[in-house]
Amino acid sequence: MTPSDKTCFVPEHILRMSPYSSARDEFPGERDHITFMDANELPYSLHRLPAGINRYPQSHTQRLKERLAAIKGVPAGRIFTGNGSDEIIDLLMRCFAQHGEDEIMVFPPVFSMYSNRAQANNLGVVEVPLDERFRIDAAQALARCGSKTRMLFVCHPNNPSGNLQDEQTIIRLLEGFDGLVIVDEAYIDFCPQKSVLPLLDQYPGLVVLQTFSKAFGLAGARVGIAYASEQILAVMEKVRCPYNLSTSSAELAVEALNSHAEFRLSTERIRHLRRQLVTALNDMPLVEEVYPSEANFLLVKTTDGPGLYRHLVSHGLVVRLRHGRSGCDGCLRITVGTAEENQRLLDAWRRYGEPGTPEAENRPARARESDPSEGRFAGVGQTESSPGEAQLPAAKSQGQADVPPRRHTASRSSLETSVVVHINLDGAAYSNISTGIGFFDHMLEQIARHGAVDLEVITEGDLHTDPHHTIEDTAITLGSALLEALGDKRGLERYGFALPMDDSRAMVLIDLGGRSHLEWDCPFNAPQIGGIPASLFRHFFGSLAASARCNIHVQASGDDDHHKIEAVFKAFARALRMALQRNQSGILPSTKGMF
Ligand code: PMP
């Protein structure tokens, strides 16, 4: 039996302390009609700074908690916000363990911040290593729990290995241990269906940590979240510093939650880039294993981790050397980057050992390499949160090539839809399309495949009404992404045409010149195609022509409507591909010198 009151281990001095109370807490009225002269703030904001930033934050970041509650299905009263998860980890140790006496348990190799904060709080650290596939042995863990063990830290997915723990293992820990089981889900947004948040009601000792630093892209804002029982959170609320989350950070976090379509697009993109990177790394020299990962990084076992690490640093690439950590001999941890960054990594990796590189001159050096603390580069053996200070050669910044990259992300939000489109005109036909209308997705995929562009589209629309807004707003957003990606159009071929033959026939002509016009000669036999009113296809191309400022002429014939519209999308994509070609002239393709 585990005690349901998890606050029974709260140290005496914490129980005795009274919480800090600000005048704002004592006066929780409508802020707009009140004159605040209580907190020694400046009574106005400097004019270049956001209005209201002169005031201390609303103490309880209520708006953020309410948004999270609606999305995560956890009551706002069971949500705690902090200055990054790091602060929350530290706070948990201050609130629920007796310094100088108690201990925590970790499962290495794991995020080093747990031990780091334990040291700062004068707590012991019991280490129970993960097995060779980075799994927790629950029986062994429970057997090692002593009378002074107050909290277990489970990293899920695990940093640095990237794997999830089995839910049954976590449940065994929750049922067999009487302290707090802290499940750190910093990377869970890359595999959200695996979150243990649904266990929260059942297990009073469960604390789930999440963060805006990873999939939400807000590492610089420092926003961490804890989900736990009200009892546990009451202690943390009492002990935390007032205003621990800044106004701007709380607002940015709400903004990130509101960017739901782009968030989906981004996490799916990172998963795609991760899959590509796994495939490529498996073909790299020195690679012994790329461990399966559910997060935005990969643990890669190599035959010469320290040598590779130094080689990559000398090429301006910083990865994380995990060699020397439990179960991580020869390992590097690599964060999934953009397609260009990943390519740069792979190119540099391939050059390892080439004549003229330091490692080629100086091999074998493995005896020295077995101790990462001997590495010449700062950053080796440091904690997670302090990036290495390796002396880097100036890394080539992105977009330094002769021609500017032709890509753009456009988004559009209205009462009916929320759309985000990313297009890369020099891509490799990658597509990730989700509009909620299967047939429409299939049509948009044709644009990527036959247009040889990367196209990512997430539309969250009012499909319960009808598909009209979803299709129209997707077209408008796609058009503006295309227009922006085209940039100044120098060297652009501008014109395109295509006439693929199926059992249907479709001819599409395009002029990317800058004027909007649609010619549509495409009669359909049935009122609907693929569940979409046939008239909406004309509307799609009309909206696209308007927002991309291009001429589109479509002519199609044939008996089968499905084939006909598919042929139209393919022909459009082929024509677009032709028009997107760049020549070496660098001139504007217009008889009038501009368009
Ligand atoms: N937990 C894990 C497992 C992490 O890897 C990290 C950062 N590397 C954190 C927590 C810290 O998150 P935050 O930025 O919210 O402090």
Written as one string, the DSSP assignment of 500-545 is -BSSSEEEEEEE-SS--EEEEE---SSSEETTEETHHHHHHHHHHH
pLDDT at 1: 40
pLDDT at 3: 58
Residue 385 confidence (pLDDT): 39
Mean pLDDT computed over 288-294: 98
Beta sheet of 331-335, edge-to-edge order: 287-290, 297-302, 331-335, 320-321
Q: Is the CB of 213 under 6 A from ligand 1?
A: yes
Through-space distance between the first and last CA atoms of the chain, rounded to whole angstroms: 76
Query: pLDDT tens across 533-557, in order?
Result: 999 999 999 999 999 999 999 999 9
Q: Is the CB of 185 under 6 A from ligand 1?
A: no
Any ligand 1 atom below 6 A from CB of 183: no
Ligand 1 and 155: CB distance under 6 A: yes
Mean pLDDT of all residues in 385-395: 35
- Looking from the CA of residue 219, the nearest atom of ligand 1 is 14
Average pLDDT over residues 29-46: 84
How many other C-beta atoms lie within 10 A of the C-beta of residue 374? 11
pLDDT of res. 31? 64
Beta strands in 292-414 (DSSP E): 297-302, 320-321, 331-335, 407-413
pLDDT at residue 374, as a whole number: 33
Element at 80 (helix H, strand E): strand 79-82
Whether a cis peptide bond, with omega within 30° of 0, leads into 589 is no
- Ligand 1 mean position to 537 CA, how many Å? 46
Contact 460 CB / ligand 1 (< 6 Å): no
**Span from the CA of 558 to the centroid of ligand 1 (angstroms):** 58
296 versus 1: the higher-pLDDT residue is 296
Residue 381: is its pLDDT beyond 90?
A: no
Task: Write the secondary structure of 341-376 as one string of H (helix), E (strand) and C (coil).
Answer: HHHHHHHHHHCCCCCCCHHHHCCCCHHHHCCHHHCC
Q: Tell whether ligand 1 has an atom less than 6 A from the beta carbon of residue 86.
A: yes
pLDDT the model gives residue 403? 77
**Spatial separation of the C-alpha atoms in residues 335 and 298, rounded to whole Å:** 6
Asked if the model's pLDDT at residue 589 lies above 80, the reply is no
Q: What is the position in ligand 1's atom list of the atom closest to the CA of 223?
A: 15
Which residues touch 489 (CB under 8 Å, ≥6 apart)?
512, 588, 589, 595
Residue to mutate (ligand 1; options 87, 153, 211; most atoms within 8 A of CB):
211
pLDDT > 80? residue 135: yes
Looking at the CA of residue 110, tell me the nearest atom of ligand 1. Answer: 3
Ligand 1 nearest atom to the CA of residue 384, by list position:
8
Neighbours of 372 (CB within 10 A): 18
Mean pLDDT of 91-95: 98
Res 494: pLDDT: 86
| Banded model confidence at residue 27, pLDDT cuts 50, 70, 90 | low
CA of 333 to the centre of ligand 1 (A): 15
Six-digit token pair at 194? 């695996």
The 8 Å CB, 24+ separation contacts for 259-264 are: 259/411, 259/420, 260/418, 260/460, 261/411, 261/418, 261/419, 261/420, 261/458, 261/459, 261/460, 262/409, 262/411, 262/420, 262/458, 263/189, 263/215, 263/216, 264/434, 264/458
Q: How far is CA 313 from the centre of its chain?
A: 25
- Point out the ligand 1 atom lying closest to the alpha carbon of residue 86: 16
Of the pLDDT bands very low, low, confident and very high (cuts 50, 70, 90), residue 25 is low
What's the gap in Å between 224 CA and the centre of ligand 1? 8
Residue range 160-169, pLDDT digits in tens: 999 999 999 9
Q: Return the percentage of the chain with pLDDT > 90, whole number.
A: 78
Mean pLDDT of 432-460: 96
Task: With a cut of 90, say whether residue 466 has pLDDT above it.
Answer: yes
Query: What was the pLDDT predicted at 388?
Result: 35
**What's the confidence (pLDDT) of residue 360?**
62
Supply the pLDDT for residue 361.
Answer: 60
The residues, ordered by sequence, that sit 6+ positions from 141 with a Cβ below 8 Å of its Cβ are 105, 107, 128, 152, 173
In this model, does residue 461 exceed pLDDT 50?
yes
The span from the CA of 563 to the CA of 370, in Å, is: 62
Expressed in angstroms and rounded, the spacing between residue 385 Cα and the centre of ligand 1 is: 8
Q: Report how far residue 580's alpha carbon sits from residue 452's, in angstroms, rounded to the nearest whole number.
A: 10
- CA of 155 relative to ligand 1 center, distance in Å: 10
- 234 contacts 224 by C-beta, under 8 angstroms: no
- The answer, yes or no, to whether residue 256 has pLDDT greater than 90, is yes
Q: 62: CA distance to ligand 1 center in Å?
A: 23
Percent of the chain at pLDDT exceeding 70: 87
Neighbours of 228 (CB within 10 A): 26
Mean of pLDDT over the chain: 89
Q: What is the DSSP letter of 177?
A: -
86 C-alpha vs ligand 1 centroid, how far in Å?
A: 6
Q: What is the largest CA-CA distance in the chain?
A: 84
Is the CB of 159 within 6 Å of ligand 1? Answer: yes
Mean pLDDT of 570-579: 95
The whole-angstrom separation of Cα 9 and Cα 2 is: 13
Ligand 1 pocket, 417 CB below 6 A?
no
Identify the DSSP state of 466: -
| 518 token code pair | 């649609």
The CB of 306 under 6 Å from ligand 1? The reply is no
**What separation in Å is there between the alpha carbon of 320 and the centre of ligand 1?**
15
CA of 95 to the centre of ligand 1 (A): 20
186 lines ligand 1 (CB under 6 A): yes
Confidence of residue 504 (pLDDT cuts 50, 70, 90): confident
Distance CA 57, CA 64 (A): 12
Q: 584 falls in which pLDDT band (50, 70, 90)?
A: confident
Triad 79, 82, 87: Cα angle to 5°: 125
More confidently predicted of 173 and 589 = 173
Q: Which one is predicted more confidently, 96 or 367?
A: 96
For the ranges 147-161, 328-342, 580-594, which has the lowest average pLDDT? 580-594
Q: What is the best residue among 81, 83, 86 to mutate for testing ligand 1's pocket, by most ligand atoms within 8 Å of CB?
A: 86
In this prediction, residue 490 has a pLDDT band, given cuts at 50, 70 and 90, of confident
Q: Which pLDDT does position 141 carry in this prediction?
A: 98
From 114, 384, 386, give the residue whose CB has the most ligand 1 atoms within 8 Å, as the site to mutate.
Answer: 384
445 lines ligand 1 (CB under 6 A): no
Angle between helices 84-96 and 230-239 (to 10 degrees): 100
**CA 186 to ligand 1 center in whole angstroms:** 6
Q: Is the CB of 158 under 6 A from ligand 1?
A: no
Quote the pLDDT of residue 393: 36
Give 3-state DSSP helix, strand, coil % of the chain, rounded to 5. Answer: 40, 20, 45
Torsion sign (Cα): 33, 35, 40, 44: positive
Looking from the CA of residue 155, the nearest atom of ligand 1 is 3
User: Which atom number of ligand 1 is nearest to the Cα of residue 187?
Assistant: 3
Q: Does residue 82 line the site of ligand 1, with CB under 6 A?
A: no
211 within ligand 1 shell (Cβ under 6 A): yes
Confidence of residue 35 (pLDDT cuts 50, 70, 90): confident
Instruction: State phi, psi for 405 to the nearest 5 degrees.
Output: -65, 145
Q: What is the pLDDT of residue 358?
A: 61
Q: Which residues contact 152 (CB under 8 A, 6 or more apart)?
A: 104, 105, 106, 141, 145, 173, 177, 179, 180, 181, 182
CA of 208 to the centre of ligand 1 (A): 13
Cβ–ligand 1 distance for 217 under 6 Å, the answer no
- Nearest-angstrom CA–CA distance, 156 and 31: 40
| Residue whose CA is at the smallest distance from ligand 1 atom 12 | 85
